[in-house]
């Protein structure tokens, strides 16, 4: 499936030809897609799939049939579900099954990992992050510093952006001084979609004796990772974006096996070795895997959709998903340049495949009203204040024809100035 910019490449018929060549096309039929709606917000919340729905009903049936025995009975015993879903997630991050566990949430897992790996000593007391990261990560890092008695204003170093959209990796590396005890960075910047070079940054951190971890929320399920090969220390993520686990679905974490046997910073009931957990001893025997970094009882009903969703990812293959994702965003960017020329849109995401994630980011001074006009016409985008529009065509359920339709609609909105009918103010949830 190759996109060639010939005389017909901007036509709807050409988009349909691309869809006919798509090896992942059949997966669209596995999702619930509302009629006359084009959903380009899968990087905020993925759509419900039929396998995920079926898995939820199956877990409910297990509860109905087995009651408390569902913890150890049935097709997916709940007692081992965090680990079994970790095994399904491991290929998506390039890890061994025992290094991954599905548990907690993005922020809870970050708190756990920082509590476990931030060990200030001597001059190394600071945490290195960046100024473009999602606020929740920064809140957690500030909180962890305060818990250790440090002033976040002095001990949380945030790498600056020169353009407000992207980060300079060399600048990140230059901030890896002998005062840094821990580094936490995003794999993909949530606004611009910039992909950071995890391998390069990890090598730089380790050469300076610094531990480093990554937030994979905007990369897992759309970009392949090789965390083991890159020797990343830890990572964490949500599962409701590209992984389509449902609103508030349980998060995930990775801990490199060289840290197995380390006591978790925040110990709890499910941190235990499963063979000893019901001995009820008051001295914790932590699991000899990433399972040690769980805290409380797993949220089984919120994990259930992932049984279906992750099996679908195993069938599709993350490499094939990445290939289609890049072709979708290539096509979208090409159409934006061609058909929206003169309407004052700025492409604000990186252009190269190595540095672009699963969405594009365009800016316009009327972005908030343009997004409202798109929604009125049946397209679901994502507005980011003050002037950003994120568009995420998802490989498993979006089409090239939908890409064409979205850009065609944007052109119509601009030509007819439809956006002027709306208030220039974002909704409560953007």
pLDDT at residue number 426: 80
Instruction: Assess whether 323 and 333 both reside in one domain.
Output: yes
Residue 36 lies in a domain: no
pLDDT at residue number 355: 98
Instruction: Assess whether 274 and 400 both reside in one domain.
Output: no
pLDDT surpassing 70 at residue 315: yes
pLDDT surpassing 90 at residue 2: no
pLDDT at residue number 429: 73
pLDDT in tens, 81-122: 999 999 999 999 999 999 999 999 999 999 999 999 999 999
Instruction: Assess whether 183 and 324 both reside in one domain.
Output: no
pLDDT surpassing 60 at residue 1: no
The pTM is what? 0.96
Q: Smallest Cα–Cα separation from 329: which of 409, 395, 397, 244? A: 395
Q: Smallest Cα–Cα separation from 185: which of 137, 143, 226? A: 137
Exposed, middle or buried, 387 (CB in 10 Å: 0-12/13-18/19+)?
A: middle
pLDDT surpassing 90 at residue 132: yes
Instruction: Assess whether 208 and 303 both reside in one domain.
Output: yes
Instruction: Assess whether 234 and 172 both reside in one domain.
Output: yes
pLDDT at residue number 184: 98
Residue 122 lies in a domain: yes
Cis amide linkage into residue 371, ω under 30° from 0: no
Residue 109 lies in a domain: yes
Residue 196 lies in a domain: yes
Instruction: Assess whether 26 and 111 both reside in one domain.
Output: no
Q: Residues within the annotated binding site? A: 106-107, 134-137, 215, 218, 240, 269, 297
pLDDT at residue number 425: 85
Residue 113 lies in a domain: yes
Helices 12-20 and 318-339 cross at an angle (nearest 10°) of 170
Q: Residues within the annotated binding site for pyridoxal 5'-phosphate? A: 106-107, 134-137, 215, 218, 240, 269, 297
Domain around 78? 53-316
Q: State the CATH number of the domain containing residue 284.
A: 3.40.640.10
The domain total for the chain is 2
Instruction: Assess whether 21 and 84 both reside in one domain.
Output: no
pLDDT in tens, 417-430: 999 999 988 887 77
pLDDT at residue number 430: 73
Among 316, 333, 351, the domain boundary falls at 316
Among 316, 337, 360, the domain boundary falls at 316
Q: State the CATH number of the domain containing residue 387.
A: 3.90.1150.10
* Average pLDDT across the chain, whole number: 96
Among 316, 339, 356, the domain boundary falls at 316
Instruction: Assess whether 270 and 216 both reside in one domain.
Output: yes
CB 254 within 8 Å of CB 236: yes
CB 245 within 8 Å of CB 312: no
Instruction: Assess whether 228 and 336 both reside in one domain.
Output: no
Helices 81-93 and 300-316 cross at an angle (nearest 10°) of 30
Residue 412 lies in a domain: yes
pLDDT at residue number 392: 98
Question: Which helix (DSSP H) or strand (DSSP E) does residue 128 occupy?
Answer: strand 126-130
**Taking phi first (over 0 means left), then psi (-120 to 50 degrees means alpha), and beta for anything else, what does residue 379 get?**
beta
Residue labelled with tokens 């949500």: 238
**Taking phi first (over 0 means left), then psi (-120 to 50 degrees means alpha), and beta for anything else, what does residue 73 get?**
beta
User: If you average pLDDT over residues 276-282, what whole number do you get?
Assistant: 92
Strand positions, DSSP E, 224-292: 234-237, 252-255
pLDDT in tens, 296-313: 999 999 999 999 999 999
pLDDT at residue number 226: 98
pLDDT surpassing 70 at residue 126: yes
Instruction: Assess whether 184 and 268 both reside in one domain.
Output: yes
What is the percent of the chain where pLDDT is above 70?
A: 98
Q: How far is CA 186 from CA 57, 110, 279, 378, in A?
A: 34, 12, 39, 31
Residue 289 lies in a domain: yes
Residue 427 lies in a domain: no
Instruction: Assess whether 265 and 281 both reside in one domain.
Output: yes
Q: How far is CA 295 from CA 155, 180, 284, in A?
A: 27, 27, 12
pLDDT in tens, 202-241: 999 999 999 999 999 999 999 999 999 999 999 999 999 9
pLDDT surpassing 60 at residue 6: no
Instruction: Assess whether 64 and 195 both reside in one domain.
Output: yes
pLDDT at residue number 221: 98
pLDDT in tens, 27-79: 999 999 999 999 999 999 999 999 999 999 999 999 999 999 999 999 999 99
């Amino acid at each position: 499936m190759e996109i060639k910019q010939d005389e017909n490449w901007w036509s709807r018929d050409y988009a349909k030809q691309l869809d006919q060549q798509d090896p992942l096309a059949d997966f669209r039929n596995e999702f619930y897609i509302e009629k006359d709606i084009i959903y380009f917000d899968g990087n905020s919340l993925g759509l419900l799939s039929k396998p995920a729905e079926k898995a939820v009903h199956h877990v409910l049936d297990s509860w109905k049939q087995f009651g408390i025995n569902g913890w150890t009975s049935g097709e997916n015993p709940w007692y081992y579900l965090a680990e079994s879903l970790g095994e399904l997630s491991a290929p998506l991050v390039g890890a061994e099954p025992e290094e991954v566990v599905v548990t907690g949430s993005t922020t809870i897992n970050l708190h756990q990992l920082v509590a476990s790996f931030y060990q200030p000593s001597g001059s190394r007391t600071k945490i290195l992050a960046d100024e473009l990261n999602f606020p929740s990560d920064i809140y957690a890092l500030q909180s962890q510093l305060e818990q250790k008695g440090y002033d976040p204003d002095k001990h949380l170093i945030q790498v600056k952006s020169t353009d407000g959209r992207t980060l300079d990796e060399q600048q990140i590396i230059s901030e890896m001084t002998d005062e840094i005890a821990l580094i936490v960075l995003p794999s993909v910047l949530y606004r611009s979609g910039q992909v950071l070079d995890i391998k390069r940054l990890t090598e730089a951190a380790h050469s300076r004796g610094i531990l480093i971890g990554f937030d994979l929320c905007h990369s897992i399920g759309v970009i392949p990772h090789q965390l083991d090969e890159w020797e990343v220390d830890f990572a964490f993520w949500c599962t409701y974006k590209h992984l389509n686990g449902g609103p508030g679905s349980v998060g995930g974490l990775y801990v490199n096996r060289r840290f197995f046997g380390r006591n978790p910073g925040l110990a709890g009931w499910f941190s235990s070795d499963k063979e000893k957990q019901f001995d009820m001893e008051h001295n914790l025997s932590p699991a000899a895997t990433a399972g040690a970094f769980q805290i409380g009882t797993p949220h089984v009903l919120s994990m259930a959709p992932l049984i279906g969703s992750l099996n679908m990812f195993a069938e599709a293959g993350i490499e094939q998903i990445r290939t289609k994702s890049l072709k979708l965003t290539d096509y979208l960017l090409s159409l934006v340049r061609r058909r929206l020329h003169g309407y004052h849109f700025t492409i604000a995401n990186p252009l190269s495949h190595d540095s672009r994630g699963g969405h594009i980011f365009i800016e316009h001074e009327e972005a908030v009203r343009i997004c409202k006009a798109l929604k009125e016409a049946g397209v679901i985008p994502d507005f980011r204040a003050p002037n950003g529009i994120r568009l995420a065509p998802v490989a498993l359920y979006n089409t090239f024809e939908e890409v064409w339709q979205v850009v065609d609609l944007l052109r119509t909105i601009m030509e007819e100035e439809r956006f002027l009918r709306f208030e220039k103010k974002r909704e409560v949830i953007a």
